[in-house]
Amino acid sequence: MPSTALDSALFRDMFGTPAMRAVFADEALTGRYLEVEVALARAEARCGVIPAEAAEAIAAAAATLAFDWPRLKRETENVGYPILPLVHQLAEAAGEAGRWVHWGATTQDIMDTANVLQIRAALALVEADIAALRGILAGLALKHRATPMAGRTHLQQALPITFGYKVAIWLAAMDRHAERLAQLRPRVLVGEFAGAAGTLASLGDQGFAVQAALCEELGLGVPAITWHVARDGIAEAVGFLGLVTGTLAKVATDIMLMMSTEFGGEVMEPFVKGRGASSTMPQKRNPISSELMLATAKAVRQQVALVLDAMVQDFERATGPWHLEWLAVPESFILSAGCLEQAKFALAGLTVDAPRMRQNLDMSGGLIVAEAVMMAAAPALGRQHAHDVIYDACRAAIGAGKPLAEVLLDMPEVVAALGGEAAVRAACDPANYLGLAPEMVDRVLAGRG
């Protein structure tokens, strides 16, 4: 019976996706082990190391092999690894050709290469999700390129921005993740075949040829040297997931804050009847997708720590750290898939309340653009004097509870410096002080690969 959220019938599709779970299911994993064993036999047959007919018999046996799962489980628990038990059943199924199964290989060769095949399939799913998210974000950024809202630093209003600018920052990060994914593939998607201590000694002068042929059979890169105890490739793949989900956690945090009552619901996750409802408070509409994004991202970060720990290995074959990857790799990909799925749902149907954003932007009565007024007055008054005058005006506006423009209009020096009443009101309009936010959106959209 399932006992964790990742395989629970209740929770599994909140924290992961069926497609990603399928990549790391037991059936898929043992299928990958068989795929590597068959590819090895064919590679060795190509190089003349084993008979060609033996390779074909091994392939045929693998294609029809029905595992005795209780036996496989029992022997795996006894041996400590699943490959020798799997080889036993494959060799038996292959008959006379079974004597050539696993020729010259070691357990870790098969397991590492199978795991790389899994990672390749998993990264393809991640790539598709990132591409979908980039499209969603690009649409939001373009639509709200000039939608003004309050920019906030230290949870306080700072200067006006646009919602499109905020979204374009998210988009630029996802663009970089797409670039990272393309760059890491050649480093991560590399086969492993090196034998007991990694020297290919069991195959003599045919070692490199078999290694290259095996990697060609599987469509993987050929390693420059054995990576049994050099786990940076695996760590990079999981670390990449930490970066992706870290970005999504930032997005989720922004959405949750903007959904809060005090922000007036500047944005809201998509409405689905009953979603985010409270069992006692009928008015509630909780940010469920964002909460799940945040939770899964935090969990992925723990897996990143595990694979970094797994890099600390002793001599030419480790005494335990490798096992950490068996836990971390599947969980990190499944959690990341869940995070990406929730992000696609939340952002694709995000409700943006532009009038509420403008209302919040006007909340300070123009104080948010005090810098704009100061800079506009500085050419006539000098920068420091303009600062002091506008500072006093801000204090007066706060004390009297009046808009900044009304206070400034009672200050002839400022009115003259700005060029009249209309100029004062224009300088105090936050929508007129967006900087290059819209143009930055354009630049992100133009630079998308």
CATH number at residue 396: 1.10.40.30
Helices within 104-225 (DSSP H only): 107-143, 163-188, 207-218
Helix axes 232-259, 163-188, angle to 10 degrees: 170
Give me the phi and psi of 148, to 5 degrees please.
Answer: -75, 145
| SS3 labels along 377-428 | HHHHHCHHHHHHHHHHHHHHHHHHCCCHHHHHCCCHHHHHHHCCHHHHHHHC
pLDDT (0 to 100) of residue 274: 55
Say whether both 371 and 315 belong to one domain: no
Residue 144 among the catalytic residues: no
Separation between Cα atoms, residue 232 and residue 238, nearest integer Å: 10
Domain boundary among 341, 358, 375: 358
67-71: long-range contacts, CB 8 A cutoff, minimum separation 24: 67/30
pLDDT (0 to 100) of residue 277: 45
Count Cβ atoms within 10 A of the Cβ of residue 206 and give its class: 0-12 exposed, 13-18 middle, 19 or more buried: middle
**Residues ≥6 apart with Cβ < 8 Å to 99:** 54, 91
At 153, is the secondary structure helix, strand, or coil? strand
pLDDT (0 to 100) of residue 273: 63
Say whether both 305 and 383 belong to one domain: no
pLDDT (0 to 100) of residue 158: 86
> Residue 19, Cα to own-chain centre: how many angstroms?
16
Say whether both 286 and 396 belong to one domain: no
Using CA atoms, how far residue 193 sits from 32, 34, 35, 68, 284, in Å, is: 15, 15, 14, 27, 56
Domain boundary among 358, 390, 411: 358
Say whether both 277 and 412 belong to one domain: no
- Is residue 223 included in any domain, yes or no? yes
> Residue 117, Cα to own-chain centre: how many angstroms?
19
Say whether both 327 and 414 belong to one domain: no
- No. of H helices and E strands in the chain? 19, 4
> Residue 204, Cα to own-chain centre: how many angstroms?
43
Q: Which of 8, 177, 228, 278 is catalytic?
A: 278
What confidence tens digit (pLDDT) does each residue in 125-167 have?
999 999 999 999 999 999 999 999 999 999 888 899 999 999 9
Closest CA to 311 of 384, 234, 203, 388: 234
pLDDT (0 to 100) of residue 282: 47
Say whether both 414 and 353 belong to one domain: no
Say whether both 165 and 296 belong to one domain: yes
Question: β-strand 156-162 against 148-153: which pairing, if any?
Answer: antiparallel
Separation between Cα atoms, residue 87 and residue 269, nearest integer Å: 51
Map tokens 């690894």 to a residue: 81
DSSP code for 51: -
DSSP code for 190: B
Separation between Cα atoms, residue 202 and residue 392, nearest integer Å: 84
Give me the phi and psi of 28, to 5 degrees please.
Answer: -70, -40
Point out the residues of the chain with pLDDT beneath 70: 273-284, 449
Say whether both 179 and 113 belong to one domain: yes
Amino acid at 406: E
pLDDT (0 to 100) of residue 210: 96
- Is residue 435 included in any domain, yes or no? no
Q: How many domains does the chain have?
A: 2
Q: What percent of the chain has pLDDT over 90?
A: 77
Say whether both 235 and 338 belong to one domain: yes
Say whether both 192 and 154 belong to one domain: yes
pLDDT (0 to 100) of residue 246: 97
pLDDT (0 to 100) of residue 40: 97
Is the CB of residue 238 less than 8 Å from the CB of residue 307? yes
Residue 387 among the catalytic residues: no
Beta bridge partner(s), residue 162 = 148
Separation between Cα atoms, residue 338 and residue 153, nearest integer Å: 30
- Is residue 118 included in any domain, yes or no? yes
pLDDT (0 to 100) of residue 156: 87
- Is residue 433 included in any domain, yes or no? no
- Full domain range(s) for residue 317: 12-358
Domain boundary among 358, 386, 417: 358
What confidence tens digit (pLDDT) does each residue in 241-292 have?
999 999 999 999 999 999 998 888 899 888 776 555 444 544 557 888 999 9
Separation between Cα atoms, residue 177 and residue 19, nearest integer Å: 21
Structure tokens at 28: 């898929």
Separation between Cα atoms, residue 35 and residue 32, nearest integer Å: 5
Which CATH number do you get for residue 311?
A: 1.20.200.10
Closest CA to 340 of 257, 274, 247, 253: 247
pTM for this predicted structure: 0.92
Say whether both 402 and 343 belong to one domain: no
Separation between Cα atoms, residue 112 and residue 226, nearest integer Å: 11
Q: Rounded to a whole number, what is the largest CA-CA distance in the chain?
A: 103
Q: How many CA atoms lie within 13 A of 117 on its CB side?
A: 24
Structure tokens at 82: 């699943």
Give me the phi and psi of 228, to 5 degrees please.
Answer: -50, -40
At 194, is the secondary structure helix, strand, or coil? coil
pLDDT (0 to 100) of residue 276: 52
Q: Which of 8, 88, 154, 289 is catalytic?
A: 154
- Is residue 149 included in any domain, yes or no? yes
